[in-house]
Every structure is written in structure tokens, then in C-alpha cells.
Structure 1
């Protein structure tokens, strides 16, 4: 049984990662792909391997809406079919794989399963990325599997220990109310609500001495690993927001079984960039890697993990993915060609 659910929308890239008149080469779900923008503003996603001598098409060049191989000049259209040969012979009857790909909320989403099922209405709502304040859309390649990164995000209690220097939540989660909910879109919500809690260290200068805060930290998950984090922080005495409500995407797409693309946004500026990289690469990544290494190749559930109440969101996500994988494995019609 594949570790990947195929009939879902996965994020391939931010739109701004695709070069103008160029090609973005990216490994996604263990395969190389070439992504480029067409003349009408839509996008194409082709398997990044010429069927002639197997070199990446992304090493070639764009000729209108066609990718021309840089080795022998064969050209492939957005539908994947060979459309051009520079030689005085018939165009070869050849085709490379393609995937449905659409732009939504500043991101590109692809469907690796049955193309007939690829309904853009099923793409999770990340409209806050383009509708809110100006943000910088970035990605990084994390040396960890997507399910372990998801575990980390769906259990926000780790912030009390792992992100002391960066977030400084200051013990507020210890007295908070924790709940897990499912919405009518299939989203799983992991919620922390804190009333009359100590302010995070960075927020203390905004408050009179002795004033506490009400806090909300809610994270939403859609399969396979598209998450959105919503944070609110207000004065407990007046209800006045200390900062505008925050919404951040945390969208994970497997590059391979052990590496993952991490798509996120941040505020403009060097300080915000340094903060994000510290959180993801210096705090989160080493601990997630240690968790994976601790299994020493053993399957997650076979290791009989101790389950805490705070794990409820992460556990529900893992079980949902197991159900989706089993359903696809049991229905051959859902398997991609």
C-alpha cells in the first residue's frame, strides 16, 4: 500500500517560485516534475524526463507553450504529447505524464490521482494568504517525512518546550482548554484556548504590569498535510487585541518518503526571515529528525507510542490518512495510471 493518498490536492509551489518564461524543476511524491506558466496564465505540469534519452526536460528551453529538450530538440506540449522534432521525419508518437495543476490563493495545487476526480472546489481555503496583509511566500526542503512534520504541527503543546526562545508562550498552554473538532469540509481542528493566561514574553511590553491575556491557538488540517494556524491574543481585562489576528499556512508536500517541501508565509523583512528559519530549521527540524530516528525503521503504530491527551489532533490525522490509503488500495479504479 502506497504511503501517499493520490486522490487529493497537494501543493506544488508558490506561484512566485515559477520563473517568468522559465521552468520550475521539483521532486514531488518521489518523482521529478517540470512546472511552467502557459501563455494564457494557466500552468502545465509535465514529468521531467524526456522519453528519448531520459534527461530532464527542465534542462531545455521554453518555445511558446512547449518544452524543448536541450539534448536532441524534441518538443512536448502542455498535454505531454511530443509536438515537435527538429529532424526531417514524422513527429514521434510519444508522451510524458502530466498532472492537473491549478492556481489558488497564490499557490499551485496538483492532483496525482485520477484526473477525472480533480475538482478545484476541493482545494482547502487559504484565501487569507492573498486577501490579508502583505506577506512573503517561501518554501524550504526539510529533511524529515511529512507525517512527522504534521505530528509536530498538530500538537502545539511542544511550543512550551521547543520554542522558548522564539515564541516564549510562557506556560500559558498548561492551563489552557484543549479540544479537537471536525468541520463539514473534512478539516480537523486542534484548538487551544487560554483565558487569563500569562502573556508571551514578546507581548509583555504591550501590557500594564500584572495584566494577563486571553489567547487562541487553532490549527486546521486537510489531507494530506495542508495546515493553517490561526492565533489571537487579547487583553483579558478589556478584550482589546494586542496584535491583529494572525493566520499562517503550514503546507507540507512530500518530496520523497524522508524529505518534505514546507510552504509558509512570513512578514516582510530580514528579522522575520531569520525568525522563521530559526523556528523551522534550528528548533523543529532537529527534533523531528530525532523522533524519526528513534523509531529505527520501525512502523509508527507498531512501536506502540504513548498517547497523551494533547496528541488527540495528531492521532486523528494519522488515522484519517490510514483510512484514505486503505480506501484507495481497496478500489483499483482510484489508482493512477
Structure 2
């Protein structure tokens, strides 16, 4: 059974990452791909391997609406067919490269690695809050940990009390007055919700409030299969029924795409200021990443469940997601077996 769900949408990159007239090479689901656009802007994701001598197409160049191999000059169209062989000036029908369904939505390019007939764009999770006119930094980094470990981290925000004390710490509110629930909505999304009523303000907001002020806080994390998460958070003065907001309600994407079994592409956003960038780099690269990488190395190639993890109440959201992913992978494997039979 594959560790990756195939019949699902994954984000390949932000739209702006593909250079005009050029291409972006990126490893996705443990295979190399090259991402480019036709002259009319239509995005293309094709396997980054020429079927002639197996050289990466990304060692070649764009040639109009084609990718031309840099080794012997075979050129491939957006449909994956070899449309020009420089040795004969004709097409070479036997030479083809794999091309995936791709959709541009929510300022990103999304690909479907499974059965192309099932690639319904309506199944892309709702990240409509990214479709904004205001300036927004759209970032990408790589985590040296498998996507399910990164998902666990996001679906259990109680770690903020320990890892993120110097960045996004909540001054002990999760431990002293946090109310936790895990729910699944009608669309199949799993929500891991923390609410902290009448709590000490988080460290980053203390300067915005008078001394001794109390707050109502909420951190609601939404998960859509296979690894698309969004965090909805708010901070209001206590006792105002969330009407006297200290800062406007916020929504942040945490979109994960496996690079390999043990590494993950992480797509995120933040306000386009040096301060916001420094804060996010601290949280992700100095706090989360070292811990997740150490966790991945400690686990090695062992299966998560085979290690018999101790489960805490705060793990409920992460465990629910892991079980759902197991169900989806088993169902997909069953369909593949039926098709083979």
C-alpha cells in the first residue's frame, strides 16, 4: 500500500514560483517533475525525465510551448508527446512523458497524481481567504520530516506551550483554561479546536493591551485530505462575546505536499513585513523544524503505529487524521486491486 494517497489534490507550488518563459523543477511524492506554462498561461506539470536516455528535462530548455531535452534535443508538448525529433524533423510517437492534471486555484498550482478521470477541481480544499487583493507574502520551505509528522504537529497545537514560547507562545493558556474539541464537518474536514476564554493574553499581544487585561482566544485548525491545513485564530477582549477584537480574525494556510517519504514541502503565508518574516522563520526553522527532524531521525524507517506511541488527550485531532488517512489509503488500494483483477 502506497504511503501517498494518489486520488487527491496536492499543491505543487505557488503560482508566482514558475518563472515567465522558464520552468520550475521540483520533487513531489518522491518523483521529479518540471512545471511550466504555455504561452497562453496554461500550467503544465510533466515528469522530469526524457524517455530517451532518462536525462532530466530540466537540464534542457523551454522552446515555445515545448520542453526540449538538453541531451539530444527531443521536444515534448504539454500533452507529453514528443512532437519534434531534430534528427528527422518529425514527431516521435513512441517517446512520451507523463503529464498530470493541474489546476490553478487560490494563487497556487494543484496537481492530481491519481486517476485523471477523477480529477474534479471542486475537490480542491477551500482556501478562498488567499484570493485577496492586499499584499501577502507566499512562502515555501522544506521540512526534513514526513508529511504525516508535520500534520501531527499542526493538529496538536498544545506544543506551542513548549516549542513556541519565544514566538507564538500563549502564556500557558492552553494548559490552564484551554477547552479542546475535535469535530468533523459535513464536507469531511476534521477540525482541531482550542478555545481559551478569560485567559492571559499571548506574549505577542501583551503590548497591545492595558496591564492586567484578559482575553478570549481561539485556535481552530482545519484538515482536509491528504495534507491541506488552515488555521483560523482570533483574540478578543474577555467578556465582549468576541466583538472587541484585539486584532482582526486571521486565517493562515499550512499546505503540505510530500517531497519524499521523509521530507515535506510546506506552503505558508504572512504579512509582507520584515518583522512577520523574522517571526515565521523563527517559529518554523528554529523551533518546529529541528524538533520534527529529530523525531524523523529517531523513528527511522519504523511505522508510526508499530512503535506503539503513547497517546495523550491532546493528540485526538492528529490521531483522527491518521486513522482517516489509513482508511483512504486502504480504500484506494482496494480499488487498484479490483482494477488489476
SS of the residue 2:7 aligns to: coil
SS in 2 for 1:92: strand
Give 2:270's match in structure 1, choosing from 263, 266, 270: 266
Q: Once the two structures are superposed, what CA deviation does each residue of 1:194-235 show, in whole Å capped at 9, x if it has no partner?
A: 110000112112212221000110000011110000110000
Q: Decide whether the 8 Å contact of 2:256 with 2:265 is kept in 1.
A: yes
| Structure 2: runs of 5 or more not aligned | none
CA-CA distance at 1:334 after TM superposition: 8.4
- 1:1-34, Cα deviation, whole Å (9 max, x unpaired): 1100100001100001000010010000110001
Deviation at 1:296, TM superposition (A): 4.2
Task: Tell whether 2:149 aligns with 1:145.
Answer: no
Correspondence list, 1:81-100, <5 A: 81-88=81-88, 90-93=90-93, 94-100=95-101
Matching residue within 175, 178, 186 for 1:176: 178
- 8 Å CA contact 1:113–1:335 kept in 2: the answer is no
How many Å separate the matches in 2 of 1:168 and 1:113? 40
Matched pairs, number: 336
- Select 2:288's aligned residue among 284, 288, 306: 284
Whether 1:47 and 2:51 are equivalent positions in the alignment is: no
Q: Is the Cα contact below 8 Å between 2:197 and 2:216 reproduced in 1?
A: yes
Residue 300 of structure 1: CA displacement? Answer: 0.8
Aligned equivalents of 1:319 and 1:229: distance in 2? 21
Q: Secondary structure at the match of 2:58?
A: helix
Give the structure-2-normalised TM-score: 0.95
Q: Does 1:196 align with 2:198?
A: yes
Correspondence 1:54-73 to 2 at 5 A: 54-73=54-73
What is the CA-CA distance between 1:295 and the residue it aligns to?
Answer: 2.7
Confirm whether residue 322 of structure 1 aligns to residue 323 of structure 2: no
Q: Report the counterpart of residue 206 of structure 1 in structure 2.
A: 208
> Is it true that 1:106 corresponds to 2:140 in the alignment?
no
CA drift of 1:333 comes to 6.8
Aligned position for 1:134: 135
Q: More displaced, 207-216 or 152-161?
A: 207-216
Q: 191-200 or 82-91: which moved more?
A: 82-91
The CA deviation string for residues 41-72 of structure 1, in whole angstroms up to 9 with x for no partner, is 22111100111121111222212211111121
Residue in 2 aligned with 1:4? 4
State whether structure 2 residue 29 is matched by structure 1 residue 29: yes
Distance 1:89 1:248 in 2: 50
1:153 deviates by 0.3
Instruction: Tell me by how many angstroms 1:294 deviates.
Output: 3.0
3-state SS of paired residue (1:281): helix
Residue 334 to residue 79, structure 1, CA distance change in 2 (3 Å): farther
Contact 1:7 1:334 in 2 (8 A): no
Q: Residue 131 of structure 1: CA displacement?
A: 2.5
RMSD of aligned residue pairs (Cα, Å): 1.5
Structure 1 residue 89: Cα displacement: 5.5
Question: How many Å apart are 1:293 and its aligned residue?
Answer: 2.8
Task: Provide the C-alpha distance between the structure 1 equivalents of 2:339 and 2:99, rounded to a whole number of angstroms.
Answer: 15
Deviation for aligned residue 1:40:
2.2
Q: Distance in 1 between matches of 2:245 and 2:110?
A: 34
Distance in 2 (CA, whole Å) between partners of 1:112 and 1:270 is 36
Alignment correspondent of 1:13: 13
For 1:168 and 1:314, how far apart are their aligned partners in 2? 20
Which residue does 2:155 correspond to in 1? 154
Point out the structure with the larger strand share.
2
State the match for 2:38 in structure 1. Answer: 38
For normalisation by structure 1, the TM-score amounts to 0.96
